[in-house]
Amino acid sequence: MMSIDPLDPDELALPKERVVEILKLIVSRWENNGTSRLYVLALKGFRLAIKATPDNIFKTFWKQTLMFVNELLYENGKAQGRSRGEVWVSILDSAKSKIAKGDFDLPPDASEVK
């Protein structure tokens, strides 16, 4: 029987060369649309640093970066929902403690359709 590894959204499957290629395209676009030279220079430096970084360190760095970005996206989504008064945010915020306690009841207002 073949086993399938679970998907790890934070694992970088792209080869380092492809990431460098994408950054090169971004640099080219920025240079052509008048983006600040400072930003272009910084991205060029970043691209060169990636090229010089050993593969194992590069993969570790990108895994940490993706984890950080995913966490920011998650927290930003919750903040947007909270600013609109959406109930799902309070459910997510309390889910961890409810699971730990074994209390899976939803708040009374969660069943209301708005």
Residue 109 covered by a domain: no
- pLDDT tens for 35-67 read 999 999 999 999 999 999 999 999 888 889 888
The answer to whether residues 42 and 73 belong to one domain is no
| Number of domains present in the structure of the chain | 2
Cα 69 off chain centre by: 3
The answer to whether residues 58 and 97 belong to one domain is yes
Higher model confidence: residue 48 or residue 110? 48
Residue 107 covered by a domain: no
- pLDDT tens for 73-106 read 989 999 999 999 998 888 887 876 667 776 666 6
Alpha carbon distance 24, 34 (integer Å): 16
The answer to whether residues 18 and 33 belong to one domain is yes
The answer to whether residues 21 and 48 belong to one domain is yes
Residue 96 covered by a domain: yes
The answer to whether residues 48 and 59 belong to one domain is no
Residue 33 covered by a domain: yes
The answer to whether residues 44 and 62 belong to one domain is no
* pTM for the full predicted model: 0.60
Q: Which domain holds residue 45?
A: 14-52
Residue 69 covered by a domain: yes
Q: What is the pLDDT of residue 105?
A: 60
The answer to whether residues 95 and 59 belong to one domain is yes
Residue 73 covered by a domain: yes
| Residue 30 near residue 43 (C-beta atoms within 8 A) | yes
